[in-house]
Structure 1
Amino acid sequence: MTGSRLALVCFHLMLLAYPGYAMAFGLDDVADKARALAGEKYQKPEAAPDFLKNLSYSDYQSIRFKSEQSLWRADESRFQAMMVPRGNVYSNAVQLNVINGKGVGPVEFDKSRFEYPSQELAKRIPADLGYAGFRLTYPLSGGEARNQFLVFAGASYFRGVGAGQTFGLSGRGIAVDTGLPSGEEFPAFTEFWMERPSTDSKSMVVYGLLDGPSLTGAYRFDIHPGKSLKMDVTAKLFFRNDIELLGQAPLTSMFYYGENTLRPTGEWRPQVHDSDGLLIHDGKSGEWLWRPLVNPTQLERNYYHVEDLKGFGLLQRDRQFAEFQDNEARYDRRPSMWVTPRGGEGAGWGEGEVVLVEIPTRAETNDNIVAFFKPRRSVKSGETLELSYSVTAGEPGITEQPNGRAVRTFVGAASDDSTLRFIVDFKGGELTGIKPDATVVSQASGGDGTEVIEHFVEYVEASDVWRLSMLAKTAPGKRLALRGALKMDGKPVTETWTYILTPGTGLLGKSQ
């Protein structure tokens, strides 16, 4: 054997012995499975036994994974994985696998990895029940503690946080017909493959297989935890059926009420929401569009056209405890989530619409907000689509937005009880440090049927903001659509604030 061949053999033996090395397995392997699956008839996954599906939320939460059973715990790896039990809304089983130097192997179900609230429940757990998903941990706070920062569980949902944050809104693999009268489909991740990270690794890779009535998909997630969580996502989708409304990179959140809405009867907290607005960046026009969220009286679906999408996300700009006063939920620590497309129209992006779906809710337990990108071209049965994008979770600054931002929106009835006063406070960007007598100019316009009666801007020293005040009205029974921004020297110095208000909010009496 020559010296070069001997060196090559030794190199391969070394890789096999190294626990963090992943054997040849990648997105193409998952895509082969997804492509073959798309050619078969969709099979609905088997649900968990009724006694598990019928567990109350609190009873389900009392099933605890034993942290000492975490994957890669014995190696003291920076990354560790904890399994999610089936039950309550997490009914479907998900096959988990690990990729390491020995190849690809399953993570076998073992109910002894969990602590159950009673021996009676523990006895009823089938030995082959399977897991509902997994949680990843990482030492975000320093030291030896492992912090949960990313969870894959339930349909195609995943939740992530940056350092010091609490879980809030979710991302999803894909959305199908969200908000349409025909009803929404919920494709689900049915199998995951986790590349075993090296002990001191600062990133890891996860693959996912998606299956649903109208499509299948193969996903690769390159995961980078830290002050902000960043995931680079690559996906290959295969369509069984035509889809009327395809939602790329969907985000799901909760908005119950806020500073721009009436407080529900009996509620003492100032605000209750995981996110307070949708932000969109169109690269062609350069515009940054901010849309405060509302809890409508009927389902609302709004489309925001973009010629060259550079990013969109659901943000939680309210960051002070005093704005919520909830010591348990800590909505002030909920993350924002920002989607950045990678690649042009050939990669599934480019021109299209960012869709915002708002669903009425009477409780904070319901996720009633969905935002996603709708491509210009519809998809047909037998077609494929490749997507490449990044999802970042963290503080609102993850957007790297350069201009002034709307930090507060207030709405109230004017003195004559037939019009509404809108107050929008802007801060940051080019507004920072300018003199109170600077020539900042207000700009406001109304949509079809909305009349802007007046608008002006003033500097508020007490809170160091530039306040845009607008008086607007609309015909009885019509929805109000309003836009506003600030300019200086003829150029925009803030994002464009936009607002939709539907009848029945109670701000102008019962009819309005």
Structure 2
Amino acid sequence: MVREAQALAAAPYVPPHRVPAFLRHLTYNAYQSIRFRPDRSLWRKRHHSRFEVQLIAPGLYYTTPVRLLVVSGCRVRPLPFRPSDFTYPSPALEKQIPKTLGYAGFKLTYPLVGRDCCNQFLVFAGASYFRAVGRPNNFGLSARGIAINTAFPPHEEFPVFQKFWLMRPRQNAHHMVIDALLNGPSVAGAYRFTIRPGQATQIKMRVRLFFRHAPRVLGIAPLTSMFFYGAGTPRPVGEWRPAVHDSDGLELANGNGEWIWRPLINPPRFQVTSFQLDNPRGFGLMQRDQRFSGYEDLGARYDTRPSAWVVPEGRWGRGRVELVEIPTASETVDNIVAYWVPHQPVTPGREYRYDYRVLFGRASIARQPAGYVIHTFVGAGRNPGMPCTTGRHTLRLIVDFAVPRASLSTPAQGVVSAIAPARIRGVTVMTARGVVYCTHPLTAFHSGSPFPKGIPSSFGHSCAVGPTP
């Protein structure tokens, strides 16, 4: 497969063929009415595998069919398209389906919540996209095989996984292996996915890339999500729900032990933020607020959406994590992307290797050892209930932290990093204070005082900022 990717990159790029126009122009409801028959799942009848494969029909957003091959020991056989694998909303549409159409992708099932269940936990469909869930989650954010020129929209490329090898797992196996061949205008690549579902689903990835041309921005291990609005941002007129998002922040673990939390926003204009890192330990788009009351949405259930955490294997060296935030007026559009950008530019013809793991599950998959941010609020700089004495351009930023109880076995201190009057690019921090508080008993502590052993659960930082004269 690696040799096949290398040969692809050495040849001129040939775009994949698209499905017929009548399938591309289906309405959303019409496409959703094309249903796979679960009894036709691969490996259901004869192999008694914990894993089964359900197939996805092309149409609407999925315009490029893929080749699927099944590997059983030393045997490799193609998986032919069968229109009878699906039910259709009308006989007229069914008659139009070509017998050699091909599949758009596939879903994997596994008994996540019970021995007799077949729970969908991983989907490969569309370009190089895939998304997964852990045991307590519903589907939300996605990952991608690669991101090319994402911060330059007119030149962005979407390479495609054009061929998959599905390795038939053993009867009692708890993991499964999939190989994939990627191809795009600038790059070809070979991918191996070792998949282990569970409370958190883990996907171990081995990636080998060969470039035809050097992209302006190469994004490794990209994650894609949606942020419409949240608890710390303005609520659009007419929206009654407290928050609407698949992820609420970007979390980073630097190689020097530093942890960074960046709340997401729905910006007024296209925005890119970079975080310089050296041998990162991990990064991810997280859904930290997992309270139903944070969303009040029985349909979308944003409180059950997964977080995704990327763990590099080996030393990735210098580079940056780039966060792209795109304005959106709807929750139906993915407008958040995060990925790793290596410091060294790409040289066409060379082989590039990246090994990493992607975990999907609750926000705790990052295993942050210290206190972490749970809320960020922005408001007027005046004290609540008091007239403004600091000027109308002054803002108050409130950041709430949670402290793992396991870390409270020894005394800890709440530290405010910005010491007044600090200046940050034309902004003066006028006051900065840390307030340590606990939920039980009702006692408050000032930042700088040690936590009483075993009691506090969280603390907050509050600072007022205004324009520098």
TM-score, with length taken from structure 1: 0.83
- Match for 1:77 among 45, 49, 62? 49
CA offsets 1:233-287 (integer angstroms, 9 cap, x no match): 0011000001111000000000000011100011000000000000111112x10
1:424 maps to 2:417: no
Tell whether 2:85 aligns with 1:113.
yes
Match of 2:427 in 1: 450
Asked whether the 8 Å contact 1:243–1:380 carries over to 2, the reply is: no
In the alignment, structure 1 residue 398 sits paired with structure 2 residue 372: no
What is the rounded CA distance, in whole Å, between the counterparts of 1:115 and 1:80 in structure 2? 19
Q: Which amino acid aligns with 2:351?
A: T
Provide the C-alpha distance between the structure 2 equivalents of 1:53 and 1:434, rounded to a whole number of angstroms: 59
**Aligned-pair CA distance for 1:350:** 1.6
Cα deviation, residue 125, structure 1: 0.9
Residue pair 2:370, 2:407 contacting (<8 A) in 1 also: no
- Conserved 8 A contact 1:100-1:195: yes
The answer on whether the counterparts of 2:136 and 2:361 sit within 8 Å (CA) in structure 1 is no
Structure 2 stretches lacking a partner, 5+ long: 383-387, 441-456
2:347 pairs with 1:375: no
Change (3 A) 1:405 1:106: same
- SS where residue 213 of structure 1 aligns? coil
RMSD of equivalent CA atoms: 1.8
1:362 alignment partner AA: A
Between stretches 453-462 and 66-75, larger displacement belongs to 453-462
- In structure 2, how many angstroms separate the alpha carbons of the residues matched to 1:433 and 1:393? 28
- State the Cα deviation string for residues 51-79 of structure 1 (Å, max 9, x = none): 11111222211211111000000122100
Give the counterpart letter for 2:336 in structure 1. Answer: I
Q: Please give the per-residue CA displacement for 1:429-488, whole angstroms capped at 9, x wherever unaligned.
A: 3796589x9753322265312221111111344485311111112479xxxxxxxxxxxx
Q: Which of the numbers 378, 386, 393 marks the counterpart of 2:353?
A: 386
TM-superposed deviation, 1:296: 0.3
Q: CA deviation at 1:401?
A: 0.8
**What SS class does the counterpart of residue 275 from structure 1 fall into?**
coil
Q: How many residues align?
A: 441
Match of 1:441 in 2: 415
Tell me how far apart the structure 1 counterparts of residues 394 and 318 of structure 2 sit (CA, whole Å).
Answer: 36
> In structure 2, what is the Cα distance between the partners aligned to 1:373 and 1:429?
28
Residue 364 of structure 1 aligns to a residue in which SS? coil
User: Aligned partners of 1:42, 1:238: CA distance in 2, in Å?
Assistant: 13
146-155 or 377-386: which moved more?
377-386
Residue 454 (structure 2) aligns with: none
The question of whether the paired residues in 2 share the 8 Å contact of 1:442 and 1:455 is answered with yes
* Map of 1:59 onto structure 2: 30
- Secondary structure of residue in 2 paired with 1:443: coil
1:332 to 298, 303, 307: 303
Q: How far did residue 308 of structure 1 move?
A: 1.8
Matched with 1:291 is 262
Q: Could you say which residue in structure 1 is the equivalent of 2:210?
A: 238
Amino acid paired to 1:429: P
> Are 1:471 and 2:464 an aligned pair?
yes
CA distance in 2, matches of 1:442, 1:158: 40
Counterpart code for 1:360: P
Matches within 5 A, 1:99-498: 99-101=71-73, 103-180=75-152, 182-284=154-256, 286-344=257-315, 349-415=316-382, 416=388, 417-429=392-404, 433=408, 440-444=414-418, 447-462=424-439, 464-474=457-467
> CA deviation digits over 1:199-238, x for unaligned, max 9?
2110010000000000000000000001110011001100
- TM-score computed with the length of structure 2 as normaliser: 0.91
- Judged with a 3 Å threshold, the aligned counterparts in structure 2 of structure 1 residues 474 and 45 are, in CA distance, closer, same or farther, namely farther
For residue 182 of structure 1, report the CA deviation from its aligned partner: 4.3
- The Cα of 1:428 is off from its aligned counterpart by 1.7
1:387 maps to amino acid:
Y
Deviation at 1:117, TM superposition (A): 1.3
SS of the aligned residue for 2:275 comes to strand
Following superposition, the deviation at residue 118 of structure 1 comes to 1.3
Q: Do the aligned partners of 1:404 and 1:431 also contact (CA within 8 Å) in 2? A: no
In structure 1, distance between residues paired with 2:21 and 2:380: 50
